[in-house]
Amino acid sequence: MFEATVSEGVLRLRRPGTRWLSTGWDGGRSRAATAYNVTVPKGFARTDLGAYRDERLARAGFAAEADGRSAEGAGAEGSDGDRDAPPTLFTGVSMEHARGARLGPVVAYATVGLSNPAMLPMEPTDEGEPVDSGADAAGSPVDPPGTVNLIVGATRRLAPGAAANLVAVAAEAKTATLLAGAGIPGTTSDAVVVADDPEGEPAEFSGSATAVGGAARACVRDAVRASLRSRYPDGDVPGPAADAEHGVVTGDRAEVFDP
């Protein structure tokens, strides 16, 4: 389904002609042969993320021309409205902890780091705690402490709504898995990329009861659990019972009213 290669702290997933939808940096819809998950070093403070990505890809041997794009045309919009920029995620987690899982028409890759938990108590205190999300004011990762990055690919041709919904399905599966395994729903900087094959068998829906959605839930669960176990082999996850270095607790109450 995807050719996965790790080099110099970069995970490259390659499958020609793939359509992508990313919630990460420079996200949105694109069409490219590749997607990347990049480990950044401790003390990382770069804000020119496009240039930084290109530097890391070159160092890893993943040149722009090898991804099916020219340096002049990178990021341009095609006739179908999709840009040709490959989606790129960043994390403080080493790619040695990246894990993949495959079922039916779906594959998922995950890297899990939990030092910046984002808690949502059901009994809020009306006092939100200060945020240290590991990002600057513009949202760029500055020494990102963890992050749960997911890349979920399907060999089906997803309708636009099905692609967008697959982001929600993946995020829901991630949350359920992390709550069961670490006691937290996610981190302050999680990101999801979903992919589909524009030449594949059509799929109008991607909910949990569909072939794509059901397989995605299982793949995300198993990839996240495997990466979690690799990153925290002794089970000492920085969850709510630990002193996390970064994170947020949403303790505010919203006003509730009838429409």
Q: What is the pLDDT of residues 67-103, one digit of tens each?
A: 444 333 445 555 455 788 899 999 999 999 999 999 9
Torsion over CA of 239, 11, 175 and 147, rounded to 10 degrees? 40
Strands 28-39 and 88-91: parallel
Residue located via tokens 């002794």: 234
Asked if residue 115 lies in contact with residue 96, where contact means CB atoms within 8 angstroms, the answer is: no
* pLDDT for 145: 58
Q: How far apart are CA 24 and CA 18, in angstroms?
A: 17
* pLDDT for 44: 87
pLDDT in tens, 13-30: 999 999 999 999 999 999
| Residue 83: Cβ within 10 Å count | 20
Q: Number of C-alpha atoms within 13 angstroms, CB side, residue 123?
A: 0
SS3 of residue 201 by DSSP: coil
User: What predicted TM-score, i.e. pTM, was given to this entire model?
Assistant: 0.87
CA-based nearest residue to 151, from 68, 35, 64, 67: 35
